[in-house]
Structure 1
Amino acid sequence: MSLEKFNLTGQFLIAMPAMTDPYFSKTVTYICTHNQDGAMGVIINRHSDITVAKLFEQIKLQTESLSLLTKAVHYGGPVQTERGFILHTILPAPHDEFNSTVVINNAVALTTSKDILEAVAENKVVKNNVPNKMLIALGYAGWTAGQLEDEMAQNAWLSLKTGLIEEAQALIFDAPNDDKFDLAMGMMGLNVANFSHSAGHA
């Protein structure tokens, strides 16, 4: 299958219900890039064991937002787990407010530079310099060239493409983590209980 017909950038990757890999079992991953060199994405439905308060302490940031500090940082995947990956809604153009931002589509962008967290800590949202929704994660999920295609052929994953900006943003930023897997399956018109447990080995 050609890459032009099989590009999952901006789509959700849903682990098949039978997948037993502890890193990816019952995960929903948002694919940020997918090309001839491989793919990378951020798992959106798993918390890490640290809070934003602990993360800010580690990177020497301070904020007075108690609601932010009590939020859990997400587990984005098993690669580079010490590095931050922030999925967020699109800022008004130009998209050059932060040092390292990739605009994935018209719904979501990915920033990996510390300056976005500095802006959040300083509450620059009032100046329109902070996205109104974001998901802070440590680590990412990565695939080498051809690896994701092979895993898809082995029925390890389902892919979900949402047609509406609001649907993608709601699944990433608004839905409770515990509900995201079932919600993603439901958006495909599928019920987990109807799946065979013979597939899903990544």
Structure 2
Amino acid sequence: MQDPYFARSVVYILEHDSNGAFGLIINKPVATKISEVVEQLDISVPEDWQDRPVLYGGPVSTEQGFVLFETEENDGQISGSNKVAITTSIDALNTIMHIDNQQFLLCMGYAGWGPGQLERELQENGWLTVEADLKILFMTPTDNKYNQALKKLGIDPAMMSNTGGRV
């Protein structure tokens, strides 16, 4: 994908139906740390989350925060799978941050596609697709998620080229 918003992006798709698609970019940190955002919300930040980055979730509604988190149950949240959910609730963020060993990402903005748009981009080979992986989603360092997703497809990132054509 050559679009500057999406080049080398790993996007976790949460919804995809006849009305379009909704997802979050999970590998593009912004300069802001989680501690800076939640302190503005009057939430105390556990020490192990102080320096974690906020992620650029996509070019739509970049002022809106989305919390992607690991869960065992789906209590009214949008669910990407039976183990992952998303919320925009400040109260939920406060709770999530204070659960021991809770995995979550804080993203600003989201990626959205209109009806048929993502399907067209896939047909034009604009995207590579890989099965969602909780390890890549929550435990892989942000700067390594793209390479790990490629490796899951059997692609060696060192062998990829940004250009194509004939010699």
Contact 1:80 1:140 in 2 (8 A): yes
2:36 equivalent in structure 1: 54
2:125 to 138, 151, 155: 155
1:111 equivalent in structure 2: 87
| Structure 1 position 70, deviation (Å) | 1.9
Contact 1:38 1:146 in 2 (8 A): yes
Contact 1:87 1:108 in 2 (8 A): yes
| Structure 1 position 198, deviation (Å) | 4.0
**Any unmatched runs of 5+ in structure 2?**
none
Say whether residues 1:177 and 2:142 are aligned partners.
yes
Return the letter of the residue paired with 2:48.
S
| Structure 1 position 109, deviation (Å) | 1.2
Q: TM-score, normalised by structure 1?
A: 0.74
Q: Structure 1 residues 196 and 52 mapped into 2: Cα distance closer, same or farther (>3 Å)?
A: closer
4+ residue runs of structure 1 moved beyond 4 angstroms? none
Q: Structure 1 residues 109 and 195 mapped into 2: Cα distance closer, same or farther (>3 Å)?
A: same
Which structure is higher in RCO with an 8 Å CA cutoff and minimum separation 6?
A: 1
Say whether residues 1:38 and 2:23 are aligned partners.
no
Alpha-carbon distance between aligned partners in 1 of 2:131 and 2:96, rounded to the nearest angstrom: 29
Return the letter of the residue paired with 2:113.
W
Say whether residues 1:23 and 2:5 are aligned partners.
yes
1:47-126 pair list within 5 angstroms: 47-58=29-40, 60-91=41-72, 93=73, 95-96=74-75, 101-120=77-96, 123=98, 125=99
1:45 aligned counterpart, secondary structure: coil
| Structure 1 position 103, deviation (Å) | 2.2
- Tell me the alpha carbon deviations over residues 101-121 of structure 1, each in whole angstroms, 9 at most, x when there is no partner: 112212211112222112145
Alpha-carbon distance between aligned partners in 1 of 2:36 and 2:162, rounded to the nearest angstrom: 41
Number of aligned positions between the proteins:
164
| Structure 1 position 63, deviation (Å) | 1.0
Q: TM-score, normalised by structure 2?
A: 0.88
Q: Please provide the CA RMSD for this pair.
A: 2.0
| Structure 1 position 141, deviation (Å) | 0.5
Q: Structure 1 residues 145 and 52 mapped into 2: Cα distance closer, same or farther (>3 Å)?
A: same
- Tell me the alpha carbon deviations over residues 158-178 of structure 1, each in whole angstroms, 9 at most, x when there is no partner: 11125xxxxx11101111111
- Tell me the alpha carbon deviations over residues 170-197 of structure 1, each in whole angstroms, 9 at most, x when there is no partner: 1011111111111101101112424573
